[in-house]
Amino acid sequence: MPGEKYNYSNIGYEVLGCMIAEVSGVTLEDYINQNILKRIDRKHSNMLLNIIDQELIACPNILDQDLKFKQNEFFPYTRRHAASGTLLSNVKDMCRFAVTILNKGNIDDAGF
């Protein structure tokens, strides 16, 4: 019956990431960096773990079967999940992204 079960999937983002890479001719990470992150001056965000200052990375936590928090054993995620889960950022950069979205693609009087 509808409403009895819930499943979440990021497959749509994974398909979109593959399409972006295929159409653009560059990796998804390079496309996002050039066409989004650099354009809105997100200096501390990237999809590549080795570019981010390792001292600033916080590992995500999940609830285990006993409802206790534990470190996610799958972090960092693989490139296979780039489109749905490998963007690393900080609060300031995320706020710039949010302002850009709220301003319909504009930030600092520059078009996005």
pLDDT at 107: 80
| Range of weakest confidence among 19-23, 29-33, 84-88, 108-112 | 108-112
pLDDT at 28: 92
Whether 2 is covered by a domain: the verdict is no
Domain that holds residue 54: 11-111
Contact 60, 75 (CB under 8 A): yes
pLDDT at 82: 82
Model confidence at 22, pLDDT cuts 50, 70, 90, reads very high
Judged by phi (left if over 0) then psi (alpha if -120 to 50, else beta), residue 108 lies in left
What total number of domains does the chain contain? Answer: 1
Query: CB neighbours of 33 closer than 8 A, spacing ≥ 6?
Result: 46, 47
Q: Is the pLDDT of residue 50 over 90?
A: no
